[in-house]
Amino acid sequence: MKRSRSIRLVLIGSLAAGALAGCRPSNEKPPVSEQNVYTNNYFLPGAGYYHAPFRAWFSLPYNHFDPRSQRYFQGGRWESAPHQSITNISPPTAEASRQTQAMRTDIVRGGFGHTSSYFFVHS
């Protein structure tokens, strides 16, 4: 009888640990913040590419060249020459941080997913 009871306790403890571990994703991504620094062309799904000299994210990489128009994309605008700056790492502005965090598609936003299932242990 004692052996059976100890096995049940181990199983219940394992299930409880598994349920608690399921409450927080193991691959949780850090939030975008004006306290963090990002390099040029740092990519976030849903938000785009970080342009360090402009301290914000944009849909295309920094100094992306369009062969049809013969122009370069930088800071949300198309220009005739590539942008030249010594800034290749910077913190985003507070507004850019808020907007980018809201646009991200690489994070789970609320809900319980499949962790809300239950386990039955027959005694």
Q: What is the DSSP string of the chain?
A: -HHHHHHHHHHHHHHHHHHHHTTS-TTPPPPP-TTS-EETT-EETTTEEEEGGGTEEESS-TTEEETTTTEEEETTEEESS----S--EEPPPHHHHHHHHHH-SSS--SS-GGGG-------
**Does residue 84 register a pLDDT over 90?**
yes
Average pLDDT for residues 91-107, to the nearest whole number? 89
Question: What is the mean predicted confidence (pLDDT) over 13-20?
Answer: 44
What is the pTM (predicted TM-score) of this model? 0.64
